[in-house]
Chains A and B, each alone.
Chain A
Amino acid sequence: MHIPDGFLNIKTVVATAALSAVGVGVALRQIKKESQQEKIVQMGLLAAFIFAAQMVNFPVMGGTSGHLMGTALAVSLMGWAPAVLVMTSVLMVQCLLYADGGLLALGANILNMAVIGSIVAHFLLQFVRSFMRGRTGFFVGTAAAAWGSLVIAALSCSLELGLSGTSPLSMVLPVMTGVHAVIGIGETLITLLVLSALYKTKDVLLMQRLDDPSRASRKWILVPLTLVVIIVFSPFASTLPDGLERVAHQLGFEK
């Protein structure tokens, strides 16, 4: 999902860079409130871990392969704000030192995978945890977060490509979302596998997150979730007239 340079036009490059700068800025402000040396070390380690995990590709279908995005893993271990910074550093290292993803498109990549991915994963995790308590809620929430964050990031990526005029939105959106819906299953399995193994080793970070009683109110979670559902499903909406419009057309009282 790393967009290379040349696919996005200048307007999209500037807009996505500005939005990602805001997202990273908010995350940095959140971190500074609770800045601890140990937390920064953990963020660096998690970023390196996700970087290494992203190098392993798994086959999906029709000659396509996918790899772990890792945003949900970072959110479930550290929360949304550190996850934004972790993913941002992963993407910057990949771009500057390994030429994976473009430099002008870095803002778009950070926006998709770090900012949007982390926020979606956070809300999905919190939403499930508000219904299911304890370990089960955490793991089910993480599974939903892993799949959801990847699909929404792919959706945002296809929107950017469509807006840049690289390819028609009606074409790129279903293809990107469809392929990433399948890759999302692999993402979910790997994330759960790593988390369950960390649970067995009683990892300190995971134990802290499991004990964390903070849950957002359901009504505040429902607003972004509704937006997500609208964005995901609106491209699949039928363009045919609904029942009333059809009857109106047949009986001739349509304006």
Chain B
Amino acid sequence: MNIFWLLFVLVIISVSSLTHWYLFVAVLLGWWAVMLLTRCSFKKIFRKFIRLEPFVLILAAFSFFQDSTGVLFLNILCKVTLSLLWILFFSSVVSLSQVMRDLKRISMPHVLVEIIALTIRYIEVILSESRRMDRARRARFACLSTGSIWTILSYTIARLYHRSSLRAQRVYQAMQCRGVI
């Protein structure tokens, strides 16, 4: 599964409507088949799906002001739900290196690809630095009172940014040495 296949499926969903309901059924069956073939965890997908679906329902409910019969609502709901299922599947099976390869293949500017690669790498840097700072705070038995919580929190965020930026430079050089970017 690569980004081009996903785009193809999403375009099919986008141009379909309830009058061509068999396309929706085909897309759903296709999703079911790839889930079984790749042995992707249904539980993991549904956990994310349940978190995102309420937002979809609220936005789709606005369509009742336009069409009280509910046809438009159902149409939007089918499209959004199917698209969501496919995107959730894609994000759970695709690897970072494959995404990078696909982005390079569509001739995405090198600078942008580099920033995306660094973003993904630095998320881990920020998380590990925040864990270190939290451990240090706990080791000093620091206890946040309600009054000082915002001051300490903002200072912690700033220090976290500062420390991460120092480590980011070293990580970038290491990535260059390994030929990642």
Contact = CB atoms under 8 A, between A and B. Distances in A.
Interface of A: 4-10, 13, 24, 28, 31-32, 35, 37-38, 40-45, 47-49, 51-52, 85-86, 88-90, 92-93, 95-99, 102-104, 161, 165-168, 171-172, 175, 193-194, 196-198, 200-201, 203
Contacts of B13: 5-6
A233 B158 CA distance: 36
Interface in B122-181: 122-123, 125-127, 150, 153-155, 157-159, 161-162, 164-165, 168-169, 172
A226 B8 CA distance: 41
A96 B6 CA distance: 11
A85 B112 CA distance: 7
Given A52-B123, A198-B161, A103 B118 contact: no
B14 A5 contact: yes
A7 B52 CA distance: 14
Given A5-B84, A6-B83, A172 B164 contact: no
Contact of B162 (A41, A47, A95, A203): A203
A102 B10 contact: yes
A5 B59 CA distance: 12
A103 B91 CA distance: 11
A172 B83 CA distance: 22
Main secondary structure of the interface of A (DSSP, over half): helix
A193 B154 contact: yes
A194 B160 CA distance: 11
A22 B167 CA distance: 34
B38 interface: no
A52 B128 CA distance: 12
Given A24-B112, A28-B112, A172 B62 contact: yes
12 contacts: A4-B55, A4-B56, A5-B13, A7-B59, A24-B112, A32-B111, A43-B118, A49-B122, A99-B90, A102-B83, A103-B6, A196-B154
Given A10-B15, A99-B91, A203-B158, A28 B122 contact: no
Nearest to A167: B62
Contacts of A85: 111-112, 115
Contacts of A175: 62
